[in-house]
């Protein structure tokens, strides 16, 4: 770790020295040119001397290594925590491990030193090639708000088979700015979950339910790509599960899945979830998960969301509202939601959720908030005319986070927006 920083400082000093010499050389050369009493031979000798000094400095500067940030990143397919899980469950779930390949990206020094005395927050996301830019903005909102002294983020990125090297290059660019607080593991899920086809979502939606098998952590946060984060996630990560398998934001239960026996006060939205992986493994829920995914006769009305609620009910708890609240217009719209989920909400919890949200799940705008002129799903007239409505507010916030990435122009091009 110290060696890497010393190397960078040394290169910085050398480059600064070179720039200073060039600046000084130009100044002296200009003065010498003005003075007619100086002979041309002396000026020529002076130029040769300066050229020799600059060439000497160049010998000690490896520009390829210094300028290319990727040279300072380790790319490895030997991730210790993945290997631990593979050894533990290989005999039982060999067909799953055979379909997962990983690539780990960390900086070129001891990662354990960086994690020391910090909360290691494991975050899981799943995506396909088309969703790369959207995911980038969501991730950037997390990383911009991280407490760098207290938190270290391990991102587990579950990739659809169509994810290519260009997509990975875009995402791993976060390593340049957050290398002291970030490691990234890309999991190529190949043909995993292909059997589940009776769903309107991409099969990537099911990848998260495999997490207890191959992610060696006691807990993880799952975040959808249409979430925005406004504060450090350390407090959320350490919430008390109270014997629950998962904590989430309560959603409105669809009548079409009543036959599964799920009560509304225990039904969550799958966009923001805190998973208790330790308990899921201890209670042998993994086998139940695999069997249900492969059971194509099971009617999963809302795909993975139905599956998660069905498998883990009734040990499902509620997150504080500030973690994953939908982008409601305000109390006027939140009231009918409360009556439908039939759950009592503490007044302080409600106030924090509406006014001090840590994670906003943007599901109530049409089209999605990254597109121009999104409107609230109820088509409120005032939302189409004023900039302070929920959808335009989060549209502007989304683009402010997007603008802080290195690829904002590409993002606008992808969305069909002219700058």
pLDDT tens for the chain, 419 residues long, are 333 334 444 555 555 665 666 666 565 555 555 454 555 666 667 767 777 776 665 555 443 333 334 445 677 777 788 888 888 888 888 878 887 888 888 765 577 888 888 999 999 999 989 999 999 999 999 999 999 999 999 999 999 888 998 999 999 999 888 888 999 999 988 766 454 555 555 566 678 888 898 999 999 999 999 999 999 999 999 999 999 999 999 887 655 455 566 666 678 888 999 999 999 999 999 888 778 776 656 666 667 787 888 888 889 999 999 999 988 877 777 776 776 666 677 878 888 888 899 999 998 888 899 998 887 766 555 455 555 578 888 999 999 999 999 999 999 999 998 76
DSSP string, 225-286: TTEEE-S-SHHHHT---TT-SEEEEE-PPPGGGGGG---GGG-EEEEEEEE-HHHHHHTT-H
| Distance of alpha carbon 168 from alpha carbon 103, whole angstroms | 10
In 70-196, beta strands by DSSP E: 73-76, 101-107, 119-127, 151-159, 182-188
Give the integer Cα–Cα distance in Å for 236 and 39.
74
Cβ neighbourhood burial of 225 (10 Å; 0-12, 13-18, 19+): buried
SS3 state of residue 107: strand
């Amino acid at each position: 770790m110290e060696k890497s920083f010393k190397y960078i400082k040394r290169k910085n000093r050398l480059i600064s020295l070179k720039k200073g010499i060039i600046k000084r050389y130009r100044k002296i050369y200009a003065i010498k040119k003005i003075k007619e009493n100086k002979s041309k031979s002396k000026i020529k000798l002076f130029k040769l001397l300066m050229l020799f000094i600059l060439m000497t400095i160049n010998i000690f500067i490896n520009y390829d290594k210094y300028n290319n940030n990727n040279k300072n990143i380790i790319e490895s397919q030997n991730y210790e925590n993945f290997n631990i899980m593979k050894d533990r469950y290989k005999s039982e779930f060999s067909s799953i491990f055979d379909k997962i390949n990983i690539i780990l990206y960390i900086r070129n020094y001891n990662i354990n030193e960086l994690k020391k005395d910090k909360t290691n927050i494991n975050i899981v996301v799943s995506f396909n090639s088309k969703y790369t830019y959207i995911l980038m903005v969501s991730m950037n909102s997390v990383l911009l708000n991280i407490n760098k002294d207290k938190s270290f983020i391990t991102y587990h990125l579950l990739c659809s088979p169509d994810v290519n090297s260009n997509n990975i290059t875009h995402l791993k660019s976060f390593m340049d700015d957050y290398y002291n607080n970030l490691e990234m593991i890309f999991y190529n899920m190949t043909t995993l979950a292909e059997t589940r086809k009776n769903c309107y979502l991409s099969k990537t939606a099911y990848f998260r339910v495999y997490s207890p098998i191959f992610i060696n952590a006691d807990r993880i946060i799952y975040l959808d790509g249409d979430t925005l984060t406004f504060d450090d996630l350390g407090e959320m990560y350490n919430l008390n599960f109270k014997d629950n398998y998962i904590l989430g934001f309560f959603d409105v239960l669809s009548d079409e899945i009543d036959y599964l026996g799920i009560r509304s006060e225990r039904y969550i939205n799958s966009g923001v979830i805190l998973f208790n992986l330790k308990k899921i493994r201890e209670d042998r829920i993994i086998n139940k998960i695999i069997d249900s995914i492969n059971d194509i006769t099971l009617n999963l009305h809302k795909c993975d969301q139905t599956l998660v609620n069905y498998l883990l009910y009734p040990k499902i708890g509620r997150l504080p509202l500030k973690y994953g609240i939908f982008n409601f217009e305000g109390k006027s719209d939140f009231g009918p939601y409360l009556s439908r989920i039939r759950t009592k909400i503490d007044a302080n919890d409600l106030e924090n959720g509406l006014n001090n949200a840590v994670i906003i799940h943007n599901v109530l705008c049409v089209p999605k908030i990254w597109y121009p002129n999104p409107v609230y799903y109820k088509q409120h007239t005032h939302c189409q005319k004023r900039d302070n409505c929920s959808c335009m507010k989060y549209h502007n916030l989304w683009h402010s986070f997007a603008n802080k990435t290195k690829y904002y122009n590409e993002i606008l091009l992808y969305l069909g927006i002219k700058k």
